[in-house]
Amino acid sequence: MIKHLADIEPNGLNREDYRARWSILDRLLDPARDGYPMELLLERYSLAELAQPGFLLRYRSVLDRFIAEHRRIMRPPLDNRPFVHQLPGPASLARFLRTALGWDRAAPGRVRAIGQALAERMSLEL
């Protein structure tokens, strides 16, 4: 995200400019929970669009509903599905699954499905 911010700032990104223009990202976003969803958003929207008033609040509302619908009760330790961090895919998705959804283990197909469902939700509701 910092690289994206630096790319759109005409003279680069310094600490003062970040605090003045982008500190909302620090206040509203948690890297473990929001990293993967924000990667999805950055495929569709520019950071300038994300910084528009109300956009991040709408995003949080959509994401909170998605998490509530997909959060799972932890499975017993004898579960034989792979740990989410061992599955192919972005590390940010594994962090999202662990921190936001409470999934330590999941079948690869289920991980792909949840990634697609989240991408669809973000594109339809934002």
The top-scoring range by mean pLDDT among 3-7, 27-31, 54-58, 74-78 is: 54-58
For residue 27, what pLDDT band results from cuts at 50, 70 and 90? low
Task: Give the separation between CA 88 and CA 112, rounded to whole angstroms.
Answer: 9
pLDDT, one tens digit per residue, over 73-121 is 655 566 788 999 999 999 999 999 999 999 989 999 999 999 999 999 9
Residue 40 and residue 118 in contact, taking contact as beta carbons nearer than 8 Å: yes
In the chain, % of residues over pLDDT 70? 77
Specify the residue for token string 């509903």. Answer: 65
Q: What is the pLDDT of residue 21?
A: 65
Q: Which of 27-41, 45-59, 93-107 has the lowest mean pLDDT?
A: 45-59
Q: What is the pLDDT of residue 74?
A: 56
Q: What is the pLDDT of residue 117?
A: 95
For residue 48, what pLDDT band results from cuts at 50, 70 and 90? confident
Residue 96 and residue 111 in contact, taking contact as beta carbons nearer than 8 Å: no
Q: What is the pLDDT of residue 76?
A: 58
Integer CA distances (angstroms), 122 to 17, 115, 116, in order: 28, 11, 10
Q: What is the pLDDT of residue 45?
A: 85
